[in-house]
Structure 1
Amino acid sequence: MIELGKYAATVLWSYGVSVALLAALIWQTVAANARARRELERQERNG
């Protein structure tokens, strides 16, 4: 593994936060897409 020296905790914490934020953005996008599809299907059924 890469030697991070005295900044290891900060760098790893930053990577963790970045991964968590990316996961949250992906989840939010997928959820918004599902809501939009459901709404579109509802509108198509009701005319």
Structure 2
Amino acid sequence: MDYHWMREFADSWALLAMALFFVGTVAFAFRPGSGKQADEAARIPLKDD
């Protein structure tokens, strides 16, 4: 593979894929009802105490 082709791919499609992944992750974290699940997951280490 040529360096210039890889550089062009990283500047366009890979950047777009990372941006979409980031937006999807944020949307998943802030979806309605996720606060309750996050609170339950945060209490897991303290269940045995």
Query: Which TM class, normalised by the smaller chain length?
Result: 0.5 to 0.7
Q: Which structure has the larger Rg?
A: 1
Q: Show structure 1 runs of 5+ residues with no match.
A: 1-7
Q: Which has the higher contact order (CA 8 A, sep 6+)?
A: 1
TM-score normalized by structure 2? 0.51
Structure 2 stretches lacking a partner, 5+ long:
37-49
Q: Report % sequence identity.
A: 19
Structure holding more helix per residue:
1
RMSD: 2.1
Number of residue pairs the alignment of both structures matches: 32
Output the TM-score relative to the length of structure 1.
0.53
